[in-house]
């Protein structure tokens, strides 16, 4: 697909998108991104994908432009669920992912506390949601590594529903 951004012309094919994101982790979900594309079993913010394939700074184009380009290349762009689901790689460097529910709560001191109900006792915290999610991700990786080390089988991905209840 040929397109132009900031006076520069680009010719990008779907395989260029796949290759540009290979071995690059998605930016952490921090609430600023609304649209994502699934690549390598992970959700990437659409602006990160276009930034990686073009080398442009994310300020040089809009999310709307990234959305239009990715959908024209026949990638499925979607809204990421607003729940705090953290995908954890099942093995180092592998594309297989384990999706686990992470519950976030703000404690009385203003810290974000993250818990993974699937893994009893697996908790972490951070000053911000972003920091708490990064910390719980590491705690989950350590928990799963300990399970493997002790010959325990890994849990299956979490299933959950979010209910809205009038108050």
pLDDT of 95 higher than 60: no
Distance CA 124, CA 110 (A): 14
Q: Do the domain assignments include residue 43?
A: yes
Residue where a domain terminates, one of 62, 79, 96: 79
In-domain check, residue 161: no
Quote the CA–CA distance of 99 and 157 in Å, as a whole number. Answer: 5
Domain contains 101? yes
Cα gap 102→85, rounded to integer Å: 6
Report field, pTM of the whole predicted structure over 0.85: no
Percentage above 90 pLDDT, the chain: 53
Q: Which of 28, 44, 79 is the last residue of a domain?
A: 79
Of 46, 61, 79, the one marking the end of a domain is 79
Taking residues 58-72, report their average pLDDT: 92
64: confidence class by pLDDT, cuts 50, 70, 90: very high
How many angstroms separate the CA atoms of 108 and 150, rounded? 36
Regarding whether 108 and 73 lie in a shared domain, the answer is no
Residues 114 and 63 in one domain: no
Is 75 in the same domain as 90?
no
Residue 92 covered by a domain: yes
Same domain flag for 47 and 90: no
Asked whether residue 154 is assigned to any structural domain, the reply reads no
Q: How many helices (H) and strands (E) does the chain have?
A: 4, 10
| Segments forming the whole domain that contains residue 60 | 2-79
């Amino acid at each position: 697909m040929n397109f132009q951004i900031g006076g520069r012309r680009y010719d990008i094919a779907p395989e260029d998108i796949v290759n540009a994101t290979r071995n690059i982790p998605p930016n952490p979900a921090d609430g600023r991104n609304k649209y994502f594309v699934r690549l390598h079993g992970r959700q990437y913010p659409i602006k990160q994908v276009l930034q990686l394939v073009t080398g442009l700074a994310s300020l040089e184009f809009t999310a709307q432009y990234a959305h239009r380009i990715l959908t024209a290349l026949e990638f499925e762009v979607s809204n990421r669920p607003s729940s705090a689901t953290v995908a954890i790689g099942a093995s180092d460097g592998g594309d297989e992912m384990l999706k686990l529910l992470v519950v976030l709560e703000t404690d009385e001191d203003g810290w974000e506390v993250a818990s993974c109900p699937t893994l009893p006792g697996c908790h972490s915290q951070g000053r911000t949601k972003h920091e708490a999610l990064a910390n719980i991700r590491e705690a989950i990786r350590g928990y799963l590594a300990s399970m493997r080390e002790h010959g325990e089988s890994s849990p299956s991905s979490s299933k959950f529903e979010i209910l809205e209840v009038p108050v």
